[in-house]
Amino acid sequence: MTVGGIIVAGGRTSYSRPADGSHGWRPTSAHTAAVTVGILLLATSVLAGRADIALIGIPGLLAATWAHSSRPTTPLRADLHEPAGPTTPGELTATLQLAAGPGEGADVVHLRITAPGHRTTHLTLAARPQDHAQEQAQAQGRDVPLRLSSVRTGPQQTFTVDLRGSRHGTWEEEPTLVRAATRLVLPGAAPLGRLPLPRRLRGLTGPHSARRLGDGTELRDIHPFTPGDRLRRIDWRTTARRSPELDTLYVRRTYSTAEATAVLVVDSRDEVGPDVRTWRGYGIIRVDEPTSLDLARHAAASVATALVEAGDRVGLEDLARRRRPLPPSAGRRHLRRLVHGLALAHPKDPASAHRVRPPQLPADAIVYLFTTLLDDDPLHLVRTWRTAGHPVVVIDTLPDVHPVIESHLVIAWQIGRLEREDRIAALNVEGIPVVRWAGSAREQAAVRFEALAHAARRHIPGRTP
């Protein structure tokens, strides 16, 4: 899986009976046919006066009588267990536990397993394990492992199982439904190097060297001792060279350390896939193709991981959700909150998607905007933040679009593509970097970030790259 990450939501979902309470065992069509054919053959033998015809129908009636006397009484139960911890990226797993119960119950189970974006699977298997010597295993039933692959992240609908138990082919249960709970797939993170940082750092300590004087490791200059300087900062070798009589003491002055503040802004107002035909909301997006929001989650998780591991503070804003933004903070626990918040990002009602005001940002924070640039709203936000003095890096999360065949969609996509290219060109003219995060360009994103970080460090006054 190139985009997806870890499965964290899990639990247990029990099966549900029909809402009308009509659950129970009923004869199959084979049982009804045996009784009907047997009675017809007996009636024909009496009317025709032929005993040989009656001998043909008697076995069917005897089989139906025996089946009626052995009518099952124990219902089939099914539980769907899902893992509650991390699992393999890109795979959703679950275990369907079938319990036939003691006594006369189902011996064969018919399953129909469905999942969004996957083909329906039909399966017929024994309700109990084949090893009948294990009585405890017979009482517990058997486990059926389920697995599906997907590169999608966020809330995902997984397994829906329709099942029906039967006994001896003559009795069958009413169909029951087992539906798995919605799973939350956390996005993974790609390794990144240095990232662009704001020009002004905040705090009294941190992993970076600020431009102001203070305690740190990066040398600024050598200066004569003044009141307030610490004695441990005295450079005795320089003092001995410049002032042999020790008339003047010289101290080593360093840059103070500080931390950077970054805010991740995810444009989750829409979610589009590589197929333009699905942009109207009528088609189904394939599970093996990441959408724009999947790419945004993956890119934001990668940037957040790199910044938090470097000791910086990171916050999260969602353009589609105006409540409860994550304020900037640091630490591994906060990183888990960020990844969880990214997984919950999804489009809202289009009527309420327009924001009158841009999200409020902390002072001296750098903004990472993850958007598809399909409309002009991201440009207005970027220009507003730049006017307020915030450096902005735009991450383009539009997937590589498949070739369009329909004539009306060709014209619409050409217009949309040209408008999008104009917006990217306008950002480049204004000095706002745009980093592509889709297809083969994603592999060059780390190099692009490294170049931006080097360029930003080179233009800081008094600093060398």
Sign of the C-alpha dihedral computed for residues 396, 399, 405 and 407 taken in this order: negative
Best mean pLDDT range from 44-58, 398-412, 423-437: 423-437
* Beta-carbon count within 10 A of 234 CB: 15
| Pairwise CA distance, residues 448 & 443, whole Å | 10
- What is the average per-residue pLDDT within 174-183? 84
Prediction pTM value = 0.77
pLDDT at 455 > cutoff 80: no
Q: What's the pLDDT score for residue 81?
A: 82
Domain segments of the chain as ranges: 4-24+75-184, 29-69, 208-258, 261-458
| Pairwise CA distance, residues 354 & 376, whole Å | 11
CATH code for the domain defined by 4-24+75-184: 2.60.40
Q: What mean pLDDT is reported for the chain?
A: 78
Q: What's the pLDDT score for residue 35?
A: 72
Q: What's the pLDDT tens digit per position in 92-125?
A: 888 888 887 655 677 788 889 988 888 888 988 8
- What is the average per-residue pLDDT within 392-402? 93
| Pairwise CA distance, residues 292 & 275, whole Å | 11
- What is the average per-residue pLDDT within 288-294? 90
Which fold, 261-458?
A: Rossmann fold (3.40.50)
pLDDT at 257 > cutoff 70: no
